[in-house]
Amino acid sequence: MKVKLGHIALQNPVIPASGTCGFGQEMSEWFDLNILGAIATKGTTLEARYGNALPRIAECPAGLINAIGLQNPGVDEVIAHEMPALRKLYRGPIIANISGFSIDEYAYVCERIDKESDAAILEVNISCPNVHNGGMAFGTSPEAAAEVTKAVKAVTNKPVFMKLSPNVTDIVSIARACVEAGADGLCLINTVLGMRIDIRRRKPVIANRYGGYSGPGVFPIALRMVNQVSKACPGIPIIGCGGVSNAEEVIEMMMAGASAVEIGAANLQNPQVCREIIEALPAVMREMRIDHLQDIIGIV
């Protein structure tokens, strides 16, 4: 079940997605974190953020809608406390997810995290749909995405994976721009911008009005985009994300072109889903006559 993200080796391809397991300590109450391929931490910004007003998460058919708004304690607290605490619990690769509201902020936070030995990969989020004047604003045009990529690569030595938004007309052009600007890898997709209305209250179900839709309903969209980008950017490792909830879908995502797979919304429904997927993978591999997961990446 071993796979590689560039030169980073993972014992299996299963990664809890950023924002669905905090900084790892919450998930450690359910199972031994050391069974995971890697862990993507909660998105980190320069300053501490409370996030958006409540309510900011709601269930809907085939998934959920959320507008958390990048709630996090800020980069100083993450470096001083969160990452060291996670390292005490987890020996594998830590993927540090980073967000910003300006190119300078992205670069500064990445430069700070780059110096931390606990972080193996920087996952730069240019795709969050739930904050104003930041996040997705940088991921909706090739030029802006390339500018962030160049700024981050200029101040870092660790592998940089750009996390892309599905809320665009042409994700391939944005992926190519990131790769041409120096990205070591890509992560896709983030949530699809959506909305639900409480017809009895005559108001949106979440205070932010719009939010990110995730869960099984977005899986076909994520699969298609991963496949498109993998064909357009050969040789670039991709972390596939979006609606994955079982071992068969991990295999499907890898066949589409993903080298590893992040599990997001499914963690909120079932905190043990990552463990269950890892335990189920060997039997699915035997059934599919797969000897090495690395061999099926991008075969479709």
Catalytic residue positions, numbered = 128
Q: What are phi and psi of 101, to 5 degrees?
A: -120, 5
Q: Is 53 helix (H, G, I), strand (E, B) or coil?
A: coil
Whether the bond between 189 and the residue before it is cis, its omega within 30 degrees of 0, is yes
Q: How far apart are CA 60 and CA 192, in angstroms?
A: 13
Q: At what angle do helices 247-256 and 219-232 cross, to 10 degrees?
A: 30
| Burial classification of residue 224, based on how many CB atoms lie within 10 Å of its CB (0-12 exposed, 13-18 middle, 19 or more buried) | middle
* CB-CB neighbours of 258 under 10 Å: 30
Helix (H) or strand (E) holding 103: helix 103-114
